[in-house]
């Protein structure tokens, strides 16, 4: 058993030792990044853990393995379709689904039981992500002055700049989670060669609208920020607009295609953006 799984089992004993009334699922080693081949037939099931007096975490892993990301998306969608009574909100990260409930209307035990029932009848092992409801096409300028670390990123992925550009423009990205900052989309996954770690030294000030890449994912920044992700391109896409409804145009699960635009296109959008979406288009698929 790997160290992570061992710690988790100990953790579980510790939690149970506290008289935790939350029934907790057996921890499957399958949930960890270092899978043992002989465990591959295990079924993915969420651990259901407390998160505040009115919250739960349904956790499918500690690291964002491809299969974990798919299971999170499937479970979140299933819970959104059949929310337990008393549910106040549902959100997701790359590895877990968060559910907040109203203790005036329900109990933790009841929410845990119905969330587990939803998980049990949902196929969390399917390799493919659930089909997207919407597809966005977001124009970006890749490389050059607008993506000063693009060449370095292509090199780290072992690709020519042309091949890296082609990979970004043909990837069928999904919004895996929104978070960290309001409206900030984590999108992925890119092919395995893009599994490049974040830089150890932060780039001090990467601008709003920047397309950044690391660990098989890309993000479009909603505000200027220091980051260890490599700055590979630039968009005019506003990820968060508090004066609009919804404030965050993207939702977890949306498909995203990046489309090439020129620096002149970008300048034109920065001057005049009639839709307030940085030239992005959204199609409803189902």
Instruction: Return the residue of 30, 31, 61, 124 that touches other proteins, per CB under 8 A.
Output: 61
By CB under 8 A, tell whether 28 contacts other proteins.
Answer: no
Q: Residues 97-136: x/- map of binding to other proteins (CB under 8 A)? A: -x-x--xx---x----------------------------
Under 8 Å between Cβ of 195 and 217: no
Stretch that binds other proteins, among 18-26, 142-150, 151-159, 268-276 (CB under 8 A): 18-26
By CB under 8 A, tell whether 228 contacts other proteins.
Answer: no
Number of residues near other proteins (by CB under 8 A): 60
By CB under 8 A, tell whether 19 contacts other proteins.
Answer: yes
Stretch that binds other proteins, among 35-43, 225-233, 237-245, 266-274 (CB under 8 A): 237-245
Instruction: Return the residue of 35, 57, 135, 259 that touches other proteins, per CB under 8 A.
Output: 57
- Closest CB to other proteins among residues 12, 161: 12
Q: Give the C-alpha separation, 133 to 173, whole Å.
A: 13
By CB under 8 A, tell whether 217 contacts other proteins.
Answer: no
- Closest CB to other proteins among residues 150, 240: 240
By the 10 Å C-beta count (0-12 exposed, 13-18 middle, 19+ buried), 267 is classed as exposed
Q: Give the C-alpha separation, 4 to 182, whole Å.
A: 31
Question: Residues 151 to 190: which contact other proteins by CB under 8 A?
Answer: 177-184
Instruction: Return the residue of 2, 7, 82, 155 that touches other proteins, per CB under 8 A.
Output: 7
Instruction: Return the residue of 243, 272, 284, 286 that touches other proteins, per CB under 8 A.
Output: 243
By CB under 8 A, tell whether 63 contacts other proteins.
Answer: yes
By CB under 8 A, tell whether 256 contacts other proteins.
Answer: no
DSSP string, the chain: --HHHHHHHHHHHHHHHTT--S--PPPPGGGSSS--GGGTTSPP--EEEE-STTEEEEE--SS--HHHHHHHHHHHHHHHHSPPTTEEEEEE-SSEEEEEE-TTT--HHHHHHHHHHHHHTS----SSPPPPSEEEEEEEEESGGGSTTHHHHHHHTT--HHHHHHHHHH--EEEEEE-SSTTPEEEEPPPGGG--PPPSSPEEEEPTTEEEEETTEEEE-SS-EEESSEEEEE----S--TTSSSSSS--TT-EEEEEE--HHHHHHHHH--TTSSTT-EEEE--
By CB under 8 A, tell whether 11 contacts other proteins.
Answer: yes
Instruction: Return the residue of 106, 137, 203, 223 that touches other proteins, per CB under 8 A.
Output: 223
- Residues forming contacts to other proteins in the complex (CB under 8 A) are 3-4, 7-8, 10-12, 14-15, 18-22, 33, 49-55, 57, 59, 61-64, 88-96, 98, 100, 103-104, 108, 177-184, 223, 240, 242-243, 245-248, 251-252
């Amino acid at each position: 058993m790997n160290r992570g799984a061992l710690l988790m089992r100990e953790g579980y004993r510790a939690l149970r030792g506290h008289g935790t009334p939350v029934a907790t699922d057996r921890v499957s080693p399958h949930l960890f990044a270092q899978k043992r081949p002989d465990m591959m037939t295990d079924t993915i099931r969420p651990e259901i853990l407390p998160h505040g007096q009115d919250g739960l975490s349904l956790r499918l892993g500690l690291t964002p393995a491809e299969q974990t990301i798919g299971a999170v998306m499937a479970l979140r969608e299933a819970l959104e379709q059949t929310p337990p009574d008393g549910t106040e909100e549902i959100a997701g990260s790359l590895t877990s689904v968060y559910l907040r409930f109203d203790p005036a209307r329900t109990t933790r035990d009841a929410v845990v039981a119905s969330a587990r029932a939803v998980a049990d009848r949902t196929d969390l092992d399917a390799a493919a992500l659930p089909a997207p409801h919407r597809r966005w096409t977001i124009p970006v300028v890749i490389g050059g002055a607008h993506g000063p670390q693009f060449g370095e990123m292509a090199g780290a992925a072992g690709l020519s700049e042309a091949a890296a550009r082609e990979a970004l423009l043909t990837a069928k990205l999904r919004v895996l989670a929104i978070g960290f900052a309001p409206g900030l989309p984590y999108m992925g996954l890119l092919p395995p060669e893009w599994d490049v770690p974040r830089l150890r030294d932060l780039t001090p000030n990467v601008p709003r609208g920047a397309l950044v890449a690391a660990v098989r994912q890309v993000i479009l920044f909603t505000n200027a920020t220091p980051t260890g992700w490599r700055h590979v391109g630039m968009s005019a896409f506003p990820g968060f607009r508090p004066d609009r409804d919804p404030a965050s145009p993207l939702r977890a699960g949306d498909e995203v295609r990046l489309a090439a635009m020129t620096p002149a296109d970008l300048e034109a959008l920065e001057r005049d953006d009639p839709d307030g979406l940085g030239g992005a288009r959204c199609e409803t698929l189902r």
